[in-house]
Amino acid sequence: MPFLRFSRDKRGYEHFYLVQPTSARRGKERQRILYWFRTPPNVKVGREPFAEHVRRALEAQYPNVRFDWETLVATPIPPPEVGHWRERRRVERAARQAADTEPAAPEAEAEGSAEEPTLAANAPATREPAPAGGSAIPASFAPSVSETPESTPQARPIPEPLRRRGRRRRGRRKHRPGSEAAPPVDKPEGK
């Protein structure tokens, strides 16, 4: 005896399947789809999934199958789920943010507490006065004898930003104003 299976896809289209259970080899039960009807959601006009002409065609195509049309038509169809997708996404986003900040906080506390004594021990107590004729370099940038390379990272000077070269497109310009390019050579006239 066939039964009705109903499903709704993510866009809301409603699918009606008329399915007949059959026994296959080795005692496995399989299902065979006899009829499939698809309709857009909330349609008020058009035909029903099991209109009279569809019933007659199915009975003619499958003469050895007995259909109980009253039961099939009276099968309750579940209402569409009202998706509160905005609220669900808001909750998921808040959970992700909480998960991101939660592990970072204990690690930061553990790292901060471990680094504070080493930084305090390696920091110079006083600033050295600048030499009279030279440039004024703070004591924190001057290398000290007591520091070891393993305990503190070496400070490297930051180079001045390099001038970016323009991108060449198609042909080159022969002479730019202000550049030291050779002046164009005059060609003799008439030859």
CA 37 vs CA 4, 33, 46, 137: distances in Å: 11, 11, 12, 83
Q: How many CA atoms lie within 13 A of 166 on its CB side?
A: 5
- Whether the pLDDT of residue 17 is over 90: the answer is yes
For 49, other C-beta atoms within 10 Å of its C-beta total 20
Ranges of each domain in the chain: 3-74, 83-113
What mean pLDDT do residues 48-75 have? 92
**pLDDT score recorded for residue 82:** 72
Q: What is the pLDDT of residues 82-93, one digit of tens each?
A: 777 788 889 999
6: β partners: 16
Please tell me the distance from the alpha carbon of residue 77 to that of residue 151, in angstroms, as a whole number: 71
Q: What is the pTM of this model?
A: 0.42
What mean pLDDT do residues 39-55 have? 89
**pLDDT score recorded for residue 103:** 63
Please tell me the distance from the alpha carbon of residue 24 to that of residue 35, in angstroms, as a whole number: 20
Please tell me the distance from the alpha carbon of residue 60 to that of residue 39, in angstroms, as a whole number: 24
